[in-house]
Amino acid sequence: MIDRIGQRLGHYRLIRKLGSGGFADVYQAEHIYLNTLAAVKLLNANLASGDIQNFHNEARTIARLAHPHIVRILDFGMEESIPYLVMEYAPNGTMRQRHPKGTQVPLSLIVKYIRQVASALQHAHTHRLIHRDVKPENLLLGGNNELLLGDFGAALLTRTSLMLSAQNIIGTISYMAPEQLQGRPSPASDQYALGIVVYEWLCGSCPFQGPLAVVHNLQLYEPPPSLRARIPALSPAIEHVVMKALAKQPEQRFVTVQAFAEALEQASQHIQAPPPPLFLSGNGGVQGHTTLKATETVHWWC
């Protein structure tokens, strides 16, 4: 797509390019009258005349997704048959920038993040929208460092001829559920993608890596490598929750993405701190601050 810096779209002037992807180019823009900032996403798709109304319908649906953890749609339109969205500007970047590849994120932070993202996804699913491209690059940070689910570009094109003819390449393969790779996305596909994000944050890398064709086949047919093999200190309860979200069959995952987030939080609450060190008392005995029953097991995250 050509560089459009300086171009005006509606009431917005594009002032700098924020990024590019297979789906779209994103620009920072300024309202010509209000001097407020926004992000403008130009989708890499020339829509046929029959698709334009479908795009408008989907854009209106997304614009109605009023939720504290979903990037707001401010406007939308067409520029020479190329659809674009005007969205609120997230000033603090993305979760990929906050936690680069290879970074292990503390479990307490992961639980906090997933609670916000799952709430946003559940809201979208209630409105019959599947995101289809959940990944750290599409999780933005707002002015108060709250998480914002962004980039509904794939959902926007869901009823267009482009989407119907290219189902198997819409999204990011490293995060795509088997059924989405086969052209049958469902709300459970977003749960799978979020499970991949949790897996990556826990151990620093996605479960499947390599050339696209290799990752494609691994997503379809191979179970994810054990998390505890990579992180021996990880609680079995946490691993169980993540692996359930990554089940190959959608019906074997949690009933909803919200249920996944709640299960992850519940499992994390069962992880207790190790007991404090024992010390000698004045009479030579051994004392400690915590007494455990013989049947209790203490796990901790490190």
Which residues are tagged catalytic?
133
Tokens encoding 197:
């994000």
Residues 6+ apart with CB under 8 A from 241: 260, 263, 264, 267
How many helices and strands, by DSSP H and E, does the chain display? 11, 10
The single-letter DSSP state of residue 104 is P
Q: From residue 100, how far is each of 75, 95, 302 by CA, in Å? A: 31, 8, 20
d(CA 239, CA 258): 17
From 90, 86, 88, 89, select the one nearest 10 (Cα to Cα): 86
Q: Are 301 and 203 in contact (CB under 8 A)?
A: no
Q: Are 67 and 59 contacting, i.e. CB atoms less than 8 angstroms apart?
A: no
- Residue 187 in contact with residue 256, Cβ under 8 Å? yes
Answer yes or no: are the C-beta atoms of 148 and 71 closer than 8 Å.
yes
